């Protein structure tokens, strides 16, 4: 099963684009016959390590929105717990959650991050043109994820 963890706030304009992208990615992956579970949160919490380490989870995709640079497009970036340092602060990264899953539950599936470019993080529910354009890349990324799930050798290399 693919676990999608989306982080964002739908009441902060483009910050909600990651949540929308995650929902569309879930549907696109299901259309490609991938079992999917999606979790949407306002911020990453340590408790998500248990979800990540669940026996059924074959891979994890974290989705969030970031401030866009010119020409930004969403892309699939590999993650590794090896790149993390333990943290108990107010802000956890996906790599730290992977580290917790490995340390606490002895299971850390392959993981990737998709960041959606955004330019407007003010109060509101509408998306900027930049964020709307990013949403059009869902099917491409769904196919990339499916290809990685189908090739265990590639997953092992990424970690």
Domain boundaries, the chain: 2-158
Q: What is the mean pLDDT of residues 104-117?
A: 94
Question: Does the pLDDT at position 54 exceed 90?
Answer: yes
Higher per-residue confidence, 35 vs 83 = 35
Is 120 in contact with 14 (CB distance < 8 Å)? Answer: yes
CATH hierarchy code of domain 2-158: 3.40.50.1450
Q: Provide the 8-state DSSP code for 69.
A: -
Going by their DSSP bridges, the two strands 111-118 and 76-79 should be labelled as: antiparallel
Q: Which residues fall within 8 angstroms of residue 28, CB to CB, at 6 or more apart?
A: 138, 139, 142
Q: What is the pLDDT of residue 6?
A: 97
Percent of the chain with pLDDT over 70: 89
| The predicted structure's pLDDT at residue 33 | 93
- Strand 111-118's sheet: what is its strand order? 36-41, 2-7, 59-67, 111-118, 76-79
Query: What would the mean pLDDT of 94-119 be, rounded to a whole number?
Result: 94
State pTM to two decimals. Answer: 0.89
> Does the pLDDT value for residue 8 go beyond 50?
yes
């Amino acid at each position: 099963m693919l676990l999608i963890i989306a982080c964002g706030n739908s009441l902060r304009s483009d910050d909600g684009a990651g949540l929308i992208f995650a929902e569309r990615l879930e549907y696109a992956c299901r259309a490609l016959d991938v079992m999917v579970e999606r979790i949407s949160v306002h911020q990453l919490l340590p408790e998500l390590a248990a979800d990540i380490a669940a026996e059924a989870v074959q891979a994890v995709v974290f989705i969030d929105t970031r401030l866009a640079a010119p020409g930004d497009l969403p892309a699939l970036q590999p993650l590794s717990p090896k790149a993390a340092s333990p943290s108990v602060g107010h802000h956890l990264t996906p790599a730290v959650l992977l580290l917790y899953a490995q340390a606490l539950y002895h299971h850390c599936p392959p993981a990737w991050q998709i960041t959606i470019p955004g330019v407007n993080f003010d109060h509101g529910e509408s998306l900027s043109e930049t964020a709307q354009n990013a949403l059009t890349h869902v099917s491409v990324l769904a196919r990339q994820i499916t290809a990685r799930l189908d090739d265990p050798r590639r997953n092992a290399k990424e970690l």
